[in-house]
Structure 1
Amino acid sequence: MSDEEDADSESSLGSVSKGAGLFLGGDGFSRAVGLVTNLILTRTLGTSLYGIFSYTTTLFSLFMVFTRLGGNKSMLRFLPEYEDDTRTQSVMLGLAYGTSIVASVLVTAVVFYLAPFISSVTLDDPLFVDVLRVASFVLPFNTLANVTTSVFKSMEKMEYDVVVSSVARPILRLVFVGGAVLLGYSVVGAAAGFVVMGALTFGVGLAILIRRSPFGVGTVRRPSTPELKEYYNYSLPLTFNQLGGFLYNRTDILMVGFFLSSSAVGIYNVSVTVATILSLPLVAFNQLFPPIASRLYHNDELDELEDLYGTVTRWIFTLSLCPAIAALLYSGDVLAVFGEGFTRGSVVLSLFVFSQVTNCFVGPSGYLLMMSDHQYLTLVNQLASGVLNAVLNYVLILEFGLIGAAIATSAVLAGINVLRIVEVWYLEGLLPYDRTFLKPVAAGAVAAGVMYAVSLLLDQYALLVVGGAAGAVAYAAVLYLLGFEQEELDLLAGVVPSERLSRLLTDRS
């Protein structure tokens, strides 16, 4: 590479790592507040009522696929692509918001009217009908807030996204959802608090957007026919892509509610939620990877894109492996924190840990496909895996119950991730792997031995604290002794800006 290309590469890597650092800081706060809220809900409501609330939020994740109609992902594509054409950016922004408003109002009306039918074919509980109807009013607010945070990501302004998604939303959820339960309003009160949280979160995001947006908010011109075709040709396939994503990620919870009980839903959802924490590094680096990947790809800077892809994937896997080992070894003790009734999900948790490690091992391959004009392939991937997941869940839930659902979904999740990375290599010639991936594997083996040894001496809360800390120290120590690559130091410097840390790590590079 030339000096100019090196500078561009460092700029792209720095942008992604800075975005990941902001997200990790914000999401760490969000997870901590969210954990408090979930503990309030699980310990106050119990497995059955918590199951009703979590089933509602799962259904709403499905409904939001149709309220957004791909608008959130379209912002990640079009706003960076037209960075030199503010008028076209404004048109795309207007289409995303206008489409989302119309769709979300229609879906809200349908959910409110069909709540008794939805209950009859799922949990079959009159209380569930009330919860659905109350919570349905959150859909327009959550949809528009989601599009707004995507606009912030497309601007590469992660600090705005962090304020809305990682600070305002979890605090408001704790105050209005957790507060309603603590005041004795039970699960219907939690649903009402959910609506208030959504409205206020959108208000915060809209206020920031109006003040900080460079896209001419409020002066959007009427879109031309070619612009309409371009927008919907991209966004509508993404709607079905996101539907497929929901089916292979969350259809298991829907079917657990359909075939089993609200209590089973509560146990299963807690296990899945804990396992999903392992994807935090992946989600963090994905915050700014898509718009930067789109820019590099469309500028034909493929060498820089491959370097970025490899470094980001390696660090996603590195950051996720140690907590994954802890979750596997201490699964029962982790779930006991939410209440003794939830420990029945330990096998479910273990299965999902394996699938999340696979998810992190392939890095942002799904977004790379999407940003390199393969949206129809991602559509086929998602829909096919979603249908397969639904079929496997139907067969295995009837045979094995909760564990059957976990086997089906974790297997499909792992399989689609392997397929994505093969597709990126075949279609674009990009592969993120090299010998440096052996370093976190070696560190993980040492950490696993340390954590297992601690489990022979301690249990419950002492095991989680002491064993987790000992494993993390051992993992970090081995990585340090094996040394770091220069691009890893550049990435880490953006995530954790510290001059002293940089000097220390440079000594081991």
Structure 2
Amino acid sequence: MSDDPPEGEAVDEVTRRLDDALERVAHGAAVSVPSILLQRALTVAFTAALTNGLGAAPYGLFALARRTQRFLSRIVLGFRNGLSRFLPTADQEERDALATFAALLLLGVATVFGAGLFLLAPRITAFADQSQRFETLLRVFALGMPASVWLFTVTEVLRGIEEVAPLNLTLRLLYPAAQLAVGAVGAFVVGDIAFVAGGVLAVMGLTGVGAAVWIVRARGFRPRIRGEGLAALRRRYLGYTVPLFLGGIATTTQRLGFYPLIAVFLSGVAGGVFSVGVLVSQLVRLPLMAINQFIPPVAAALNEEGHEDALSRLYHVTSRLVLVGVVAAAVPVVVYRETVMAAFGPTFTEYAPLLTLFVFAQIAACAAGSVGILLRMTDHQQALLVTNVVITTVLAAVAVPLTVQYGLAGVVWTYLLMLTLNNGIEVAVLYHLEGLQPFTKRHSYPLIAAVPYAAVALGAYVLAPGVVGAVVGTLLGLAVFAATMKLLGFTPVERRLASTLVERYGELVPGR
């Protein structure tokens, strides 16, 4: 006699697992969206303060130096990815051991990388033919590398244990608010970009320390180095994260390799424009960022427990919801690109046409949903490593000639190509290895609804150019977009999810 449950019970179990997973992910997203919006607003305000207070060229040097440090720190942070993979299913002693080992590993590697950057700063400056100010900024960021890595290590622990509120308070409010305060003082009082760099790193370290104190007090985490079975646990952690660390070199080159390229071939102003273009276009990524807050532990648990059908349906639903949100955010940024870029000063307004390419790049990055995370959570980090190495090799061959030939526009076209290739190939790899793919016919619905949305927004822009027309056009366009999506229809799963969210958070909406 078979031990398998009857077919109806199996379907009910998949539905139950799916609803539970979606509710957990949606809870993280619902709580995270306001905080991510606030974080992005504070970061935009910080950037605008520097560009308007100190000028495009000093901000450009700051951006180039900071991204050079971030290039190295992102590689180091490849070692943190095991926290989201293993913490959700670990007991308290294992959690203590994992957090301790990861923290020591990350801080140790960050210190080595920071020292290397500090010593090489003069040579990097000379090779890029930049000013002494650039060297000073490089050295400041090199000294602060452990502080920046510490902040993101602690917040990864919060993500792994699904502490939504503390994560958002730390990463989305306290740190960006303190960064904005430092930026405002540095730009309008002190008038020194090096002061801003040092202040930003100081608040990163202090915020990370505060979050760590909360974890120790509220969740009972304690440093744990010795104990039975810990050596095997550390080997398992390293076995999982070393490929991600190595793959992070390729991934980080894809994401941040543009800044060294700009430093060598272009100017500080070009670095500032590219940085602002990425910053503004990443506002479009908000839906994916919200979903990704807690999809790693949820997907890891479904994979660990063998719930493949629920994981597949979770991917379908979340990727479509992400695309709906991304398209809704992308249309006004493209239509009102000149108004948006004007907030950073006249130099940036001249480059407003490039913002369209930045936005298309973000749509390409988000269309497949959480594909990279799912590859990691299904333990295919080695395949992810090979994929990223191949993509990085292709881009390295393309980026330099495009930059030399077309300048900043060539860099932006390379950025668009990189995100499109990266996500397209990762989807193919995930489907080959796990049979998971994000797309259904319903993924075309947001693209269809975007047509009347864009028409309304563009009409408002023609009738009333400027901020007022942008606000009115966006609101009217969103109403048309929502009506079109409703007409095209939602699935029963999406309706159940909406009902659950309304029931859970409805009392927070004014007027209800």
TM tier relative to shorter chain: over 0.9
Partner Cα distance (1:370, 1:417) in 2: 14
1:34 match: 43
Give the superposition deviation at 1:99: 0.6
1:493 is displaced (CA, Å) by 5.2
Match of 2:247 in 1: 241
Q: Is the 1:87–1:220 contact (alpha carbons within 8 Å) kept by the matching residues of 2?
A: no
Higher mean alpha-carbon deviation, 294-303 vs 31-40, is at 31-40
Give the 3-state SS of the residue equivalent to 2:350 in structure 1.
Answer: helix
What is the CA–CA distance in structure 2 between the aligned matches of 1:403 and 1:493, rounded to whole Å? 45
Determine the C-alpha separation between the residues in 1 that align with 2:501 and 2:173. 18
Q: Which residue of 2 aligns with 1:11?
A: 20
- Residue aligned with 1:121, SS: helix
Partner residue in 2 for 1:136: 142
What is residue 222 of structure 2 aligned with on the other side? 217
Shift of 1:123: 5.2
Q: Do structure 1's residue 269 and structure 2's residue 275 form an aligned pair?
A: yes
Partner Cα distance (1:167, 1:35) in 2: 13
Supply the AA of the counterpart residue of 2:29.
Answer: A
Which residues in structure 2 correspond to 1:44-443 (within 5 Å)?
A: 44-68=53-77, 70-80=78-88, 82-83=89-90, 85-122=91-128, 124-213=130-219, 216-221=221-226, 224-443=230-449
- The percent of aligned pairs where both chains have the same amino acid is 26
With over 3 angstroms needed to count, the CA separation of the structure-2 counterparts of 1:122 and 1:205, relative to structure 1, is farther
**TM-score, length of structure 2 as denominator length:** 0.92
The runs of 5 or more residues in structure 2 that have no matched partner are 1-9
Gaps of 5+ in 1: 503-509
Offset from partner CA, 1:112-145 (integer Å, 9 cap, x none): 2222112112251101111222232321111111
- The alignment of Structure 1 onto Structure 2 pairs a total of residues equal to 498
The 1:479/1:130 distance shift into structure 2, 3 A limit, reads: same
Contact 2:76 2:110 in 1 (8 A): yes
Q: Deviations over 1:306-352 (max 9, x none)?
A: 11111100000000102212222222222112111002322322112
The alpha-carbon deviation at position 209 of structure 1 amounts to 1.3
Structure 1 length normalisation: TM-score?
0.93
SS in structure 2 opposite 1:183? helix
Q: Distance in 1 between matches of 2:466 and 2:262?
A: 28
Work out the CA distance in 1 between the residues paired with 2:499 and 2:264: 48
CA distance in 2, matches of 1:446, 1:472: 10
Q: Is the 8 A contact 2:150 2:205 kept in 1?
A: no
Q: Evaluate the alpha carbon distance shift between residue 389 and residue 404 of structure 1 in structure 2; reply closer, same or farther with a 3 A threshold.
A: same
| Counterpart in the other structure of 1:507 | none
**Native 8 Å contact 2:66 2:138 kept in 1:** no
1:57-113 CA distance string (max 9 Å, x none): 211211213433x23211011112x43x33333222222011112112222222222
Q: Distance in 2 between matches of 1:323 and 1:282?
A: 12
Q: Which moved more, 1:365-374 or 1:484-493?
A: 484-493
What secondary structure is seen at the aligned counterpart in 2 of 1:345? coil
1:506 aligned residue = none
Question: How far apart in 2 are the matches of 1:60 and 1:299?
Answer: 39
Secondary structure at the residue paired with 1:363? coil
Stretch of structure 1 that moved more, 483-492 or 415-424: 483-492
Change over 3 Å in CA distance of 1:66–1:478 after alignment to 2: closer
Structure 1 residues 115 and 208, CA, compared in 2 at 3 Å: closer, same or farther? same
* 8 Å contact from structure 1 (residues 385, 416) kept in 2: yes
1:18-72 deviation per Cα after TM superposition (whole angstroms, max 9, x unaligned): 111121111111112222211111111211001011112211211213433x232
Worse-matched range after superposition: 308-317 or 35-44: 35-44
Q: Which amino acid aligns with 2:382?
A: Y
Whole-angstrom CA distance in 2 between matches of 1:500 and 1:140: 42
Q: Which amino acid in structure 1 is aligned with residue 489 of structure 2?
A: G
**Residue type of the alignment partner of 1:398:** V
Asked whether the 8 Å contact 1:14–1:490 carries over to 2, the reply is no
Distance 2:501 2:407 in 1: 41
Q: Is the 8 A contact 1:71 1:100 kept in 2?
A: yes
Q: Output the amino acid matched with 2:287.
A: P
1:495 offset after TM fit, Å?
Answer: 6.1
Kept in 2: contact 1:20–1:495 (CA 8 A): no
CA distance in 2, matches of 1:71, 1:212: 25
Counterpart contact for 2:75–2:248, Cα < 8 Å: no
Partner residue in 2 for 1:505: none
